[in-house]
Structure 1
């Protein structure tokens, strides 16, 4: 280590602390009350054609998907979940995302589940006039080329492409799917979608939309009272966000990417599990309070029934007395 390295080591440590710790506090937790999307800015040309489905699945290809599963092993280890990039998305995950898109009015978002359709993506790039042509044929072209030349069917990587308004799913995890849906929801309300996409692709600024999508997924699960789903979401979305933090910090630090990622993902797992534990404790508290509420309600019903039973007898007794007179 050179003298300059020794001199600037404390500063690097400080930068590392800022990038690896503070973003978690900025990210927060489940947003309450949750706001469903109401101000979608879209274009009529992006409406689906007759007979076209919003969700499309790639045909099963065991060998190809097996290769993709192996390529996705690093992601499985980092997030400690075998469902990441497993290229076998269940119907339950699809339904969870479909309900999310429907409730947020995102009816023009295309969802490709483990599918490789470059021609379809180039067509959607041309049609998506909610993004200005200048951005579509520059940055948008780069994203389409990336999709074409580096197919996610092999390399994985769940993502949302704002230039084609498409979600690509390769992981069988509902929280991951909702996170990508959160990106679609975020862009849906933006007037200058292309500018926003390019600006937030820059280092550091890229953490902003990731935090929005993460908070939206957590807030949605809380609003839907899916507490088990929320618990699972914390376990995977927090360490996933840590990988984004590591990516933003890498250009500013002299350490290797793997060291930075490991240093970020470990506290991400710890914090995610802590938040998941909080959700579980809240759920246990709700369950333990229900019998007491039901008991009070039951006693109240019994008392009301007793009153209803007694009142007719009093009336009947008075009626008989009047007859005897």
Structure 2
């Protein structure tokens, strides 16, 4: 099977098959460039992520789940900005044209794409070690994108969903701890099939003062918000949402997974204290649980406290490709 046969068979449903007028994709796969027509009065947001085998995913993941995750981690970036997904580009390096892999990968990819109304508008394929690069495009009303730079002292600090299960699954894969089969399946699902919080991001437009998705670990990702906003934060460890599986683990494992686990793809965001009821309503509107877990401080730095308000030593660092 040649390169263009591969594209035609597995990926060339393209913009034309998905009502391009609804997404601003005038011309998709098949030319040198996709042609996009941004809507007047809107901003287009673009993000790119690369997934490398052995670094971002394990060889044991099913192709269908890998297709889902490859797009999900990119949609999560749009969610953190409050953007509505519109189009994405896929560049794929493959060791060989394995039809069974491609069938599962494209199925998982397009199932999630259809769920969020986003169109594959183009990309590239080549031979090489398995490497997946996706660029996503989304839009918000002009001036309404959620950014990392808007947190203010006395804002509430919020988190969506639950944290830490993906890291817990990774530790099982690494052999540092073990879980019963059904519990491992539960946390592995969170690692391999993350759900991007796109609906919540949209519901928080005009409400949240800042936001970021938790991809490399809560402590580090929150640190980006604090640095860009010029503020600090106090985070209540006891209030961080976690699954029953993680909640049954020793405290040191819980702290590791909650604060520096990564791969959660939940949103951490800030909002004024007077907006608490509106934030809870946004969670209900988007069918996404949200939890108030701390506050933004004028004093720089991140402080983690226990249930009694005592400072916890927090030497943990989030994932860094060139330090971890």
Q: TM-score range by the shorter chain?
A: under 0.3
Q: Considering fraction of residues, name the structure with more strand.
A: 2
Q: Considering fraction of residues, name the structure with more helix.
A: 1
- Greater C-alpha radius of gyration: 1
